[in-house]
């Protein structure tokens, strides 16, 4: 086990090596940095390096924008059925770091400040992925967004040798905690370029004899819609996907929080389209930063022994079911495919039903250790699950609270209002026909629905599952 004194010593070494690049990073730009020529791998640790890149509110439809990233990670495993059980910022991030579903970690508040407070009070740093890999001998870095409600005056969380964490959701002029030292960047500084420079400095500073874990969290493409000036002339002709659930024509079968929304106006659709263009422009900066980090790993002789995960904390609805939101269990909010690349994964499409709780156990197995108290399982084997438990805790003005479950074939959700939703995703992938429409309260399933699955009982059981119970097969 790595001692506290040893961790402090390692952080001090990193600080000394990273100090010089940081001074010039305030005005830095990820794509403009000079790249080193690829070097031959140096003799080093046999443990694989691990890099998790978690975007903020990226939609499944946004994936093609990360063109260079996908080209550099050619041969990756593609997980189209990657489901976020609580599709909201902090609940999702807490699940990724702990391997716990939201009903077990309960970092679920809609109040920003309460999210980080719940994380601290739960003392999740002790069992989170950073600490687990640090104790396994990794040098660790958290760079970017961490948990909603974090303020830079707070001390760094445990488990991280390098802590470069932002405060507000802003793309320019951020306040950043660099190992507990508050750094305020100029208003014209694009935050992602700064974060990419810190990440590069971390990669190049870690001795070849030690494995590294980088948890890199861009703020993009979350609002506000303020892309880097270099890309504001791109995607000017982009339009929103014209799919059946966009501005859904008949929402009378949906719960009240949807059925009460009038059809989108032309003005609203234009606003959604403008937001979509800005999001795509911001993702070009993400593509710069991420492909740059991959080149940095290659230049350091590390890339061939690195496992890379590219995910989003949740999706986002831009007019689907007339909503502009996340939180809800609908597909555009809760399903964003994951890309996993490296020596632990085979190329191709893996259609298993997986979730963000599975990433930490996977990383732990790669490092040769176990993830304590996790509800998820490692993706390195052939394990699979039938359902992912879905949850919406505190009702907001946008979406309704409740519990449910999702499989590859169906979505079932019980709202606290008593309303229920059931979608046959095989025959109705756009969730247009709720088979349990408002007013249906009977205990007998309508003809043709799979009552044998006992979805209500499954929802109740998975809503309180712990550990192995959460991935049992029906």
Q: What is the pLDDT of residue 245?
A: 97
Q: Which pLDDT score, from 0 to 100, does residue 168 have?
A: 79
What gap in Å lies between CA 374 and CA 100, rounded to an integer?
A: 5
C-alpha 421/C-alpha 381 separation (Å) is 33
For residue 354, is pLDDT > 90? yes
Side-chain-side CA neighbours of residue 222 (13 Å): 22
Answer whether residue 203 is part of any domain. yes
- Residue 214 included in any domain: yes
Does residue 32 carry a pLDDT above 70?
A: no
- At 168, list the tokens: 């507000």
Residue 271 inside a domain? The answer is: yes
**pLDDT (average), residues 384-393:** 91
Could you list the beta-strand ranges (E) of 179-241. Answer: 181-184, 212-217
Residue 29 has pLDDT above 80, yes or no: no
Q: Is residue 413 part of a domain?
A: no
pLDDT of residue 447: 56
CA pair distance 138, 206, nearest whole angstrom: 10
User: Mean pLDDT over residues 238-252, rounded?
Assistant: 94
- The band of 27, judged by pLDDT with boundaries at 50, 70 and 90, is very low
Decide: 290 and 58 in contact? Cβ < 8 Å. no
Question: Once rounded to an integer, what is the mean pLDDT over residues 406-434?
Answer: 93
* Burial label, 179 (beta-carbon count in 10 A; 0-12, 13-18, 19+): middle
Number of domains in the chain: 1
Least confident of 93-97, 163-167, 214-218, 415-419: 415-419
DSSP string over 109-166: -SSHHHHHHHHHHTTGGGTSHHHHHHHTT-EEEEEE--STT--TTSPPPTT-SEEEEE
For residue 465, is it within any domain? no
Q: What is the mean pLDDT of residues 107-124?
A: 86
Q: Is residue 166 part of a domain?
A: yes
- Quick check: 405 pLDDT over 90? yes
Among 343-352, 382-391, 443-452, the minimum mean pLDDT is found in 443-452
Distance, in Å, from the CA atom of 27 to the CA atom of 240, rounded to the nearest integer, reads: 33
Domain that holds residue 372: 47-384
**83 contacts 336 by C-beta, under 8 angstroms:** no
pLDDT at 387 over 60: yes
Return the pLDDT at 23.
37
The whole-angstrom separation of Cα 135 and Cα 128 is: 11
Report the 10 Å Cβ neighbour count for 463. 17
pLDDT at position 456 is 86
Max avg pLDDT among 15-29, 147-161, 442-456: 147-161
pLDDT for res 39: 35
Question: Which residue do the tokens 């304590």 mark?
Answer: 372
- Look at strands 181-184 and 317-318 and give their pairing: unpaired
pLDDT band at 457 (very low <50, low <70, confident <90, very high): confident
Tokens matching residue 52: 């998790």
Rounded Cα distance between 186 and 172, Å, is: 8
Q: How confident is the model at residue 440 (pLDDT cuts 50, 70, 90)?
A: low
Residue at 341 is within a domain? yes
Confidence (pLDDT) at 26? 38
Euclidean distance between the first and the last CA atom of the chain, given in angstroms as a whole number: 39
C-alpha to C-alpha distances, 467 to 59, 101, 325, 365, 392, nearest whole angstrom: 29, 9, 30, 16, 20
**In contact, 276 and 320? CB cutoff 8 Å:** no
Most confident among 31-40, 268-277, 464-473 (mean pLDDT): 268-277
CB 90 within 8 A of CB 119: yes
Average pLDDT over residues 394-411: 82
pTM (whole model) above 0.85: yes
- CA-CA-CA-CA dihedral for 229, 233, 237, 240, to nearest 10: -10
CATH of the domain at 192: 3.40.720.10
Dihedral sign (CA 220, 38, 337, 158)? negative
Residue 353 has pLDDT above 90, yes or no: yes
pLDDT over 70 percentage in the chain: 86
Mean pLDDT taken over the chain: 88
| Any domain includes 415 | no
Task: Decide: 128 and 384 in contact? Cβ < 8 Å.
Answer: no
Q: What is the pLDDT of residues 365-377, one digit of tens each?
A: 999 999 999 999 9
Q: What is the pLDDT of residue 222?
A: 96
**Does 56 score more than 80 pLDDT?**
yes
Q: 70-94 pLDDT, tens per residue? A: 999 999 999 999 999 999 999 999 9
User: Is the pLDDT score of 100 beyond 70?
Assistant: yes
CA distance 355 to 257: 26
């Amino acid at each position: 086990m790595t001692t506290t004194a040893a961790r402090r010593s390692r952080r001090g070494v990193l600080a000394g090596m990273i100090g010089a690049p940081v001074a010039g990073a305030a005005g830095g730009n990820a794509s403009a940095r000079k790249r080193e020529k690829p070097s031959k791998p140096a003799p080093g640790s046999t443990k694989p390096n691990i890099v998790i890149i978690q975007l903020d509110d990226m939609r499944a439809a946004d994936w093609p924008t990360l063109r260079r990233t996908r080209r550099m990670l050619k041969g990756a495993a593609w997980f189209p059925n990657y489901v976020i059980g609580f599709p909201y910022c902090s609940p999702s991030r807490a699940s990724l770091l702990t391997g716990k579903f939201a009903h077990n970690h309960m970092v679920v508040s809609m109040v920003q400040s309460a999210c980080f407070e719940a994380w601290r009070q739960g003392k999740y740093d002790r069992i989170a992925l950073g600490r687990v890999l640090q104790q396994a001998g990794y040098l660790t870095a958290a760079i970017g967004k961490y948990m909603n409600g974090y303020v830079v005056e707070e001390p760094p969380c445990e488990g991280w040798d390098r802590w470069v964490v932002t405060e507000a959701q802003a793309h320019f002029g951020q306040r950043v905690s660099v190992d507990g030292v508050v750094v305020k960047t100029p208003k014209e500084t694009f935050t992602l370029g700064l974060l990419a420079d810190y990440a590069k400095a971390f990669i190049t500073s870690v001795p070849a004899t030690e494995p590294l874990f980088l948890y890199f969290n861009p703020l993009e493409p979350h609002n506000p819609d303020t892309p880097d000036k270099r890309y504001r002339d791109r995607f000017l002709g982009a339009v929103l996907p014209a799919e059946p659930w966009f501005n859904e024509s008949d929402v009378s079968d949906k719960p009240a929080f949807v059925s009460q929304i009038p059809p989108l106006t032309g003005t609203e659709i234009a606003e959604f389209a403008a937001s979509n263009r800005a999001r795509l422009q911001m993702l070009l900066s993400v593509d710069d930063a991420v492909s740059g980090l991959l080149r940095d790993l290659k230049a350091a002789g590390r890339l061939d022994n690195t496992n890379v995960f590219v995910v989003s904390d949740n999706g986002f609805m831009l007019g689907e079911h007339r909503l502009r939101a996340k939180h809800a269990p609908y597909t555009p909010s809760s399903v964003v495919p994951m890309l996993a690349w490296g020596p632990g994964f085979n190329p191709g499409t893996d259609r298993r039903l997986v979730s963000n709780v599975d990433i930490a156990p996977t990383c732990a197995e790669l490092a040769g250790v176990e993830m304590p108290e996790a509800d998820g399982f490692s993706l390195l084997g052939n394990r699979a699950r039938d359902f992912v438990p879905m949850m919406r805790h505190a009702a907001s003005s946008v979406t309704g609270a409740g519990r449910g479950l999702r499989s590859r074939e169906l979505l079932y959700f019980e709202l606290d209002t008593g309303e229920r939703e059931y979608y046959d995703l095989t025959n109705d992938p756009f969730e247009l026909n709720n088979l349990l429409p408002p007013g249906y309260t009977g205990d007998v399933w309508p003809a043709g629905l799979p009552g044998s699955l006992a979805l209500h009982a499954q929802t109740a059981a998975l809503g309180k599952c712990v550990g192995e119970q959460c991935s049992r097969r029906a």
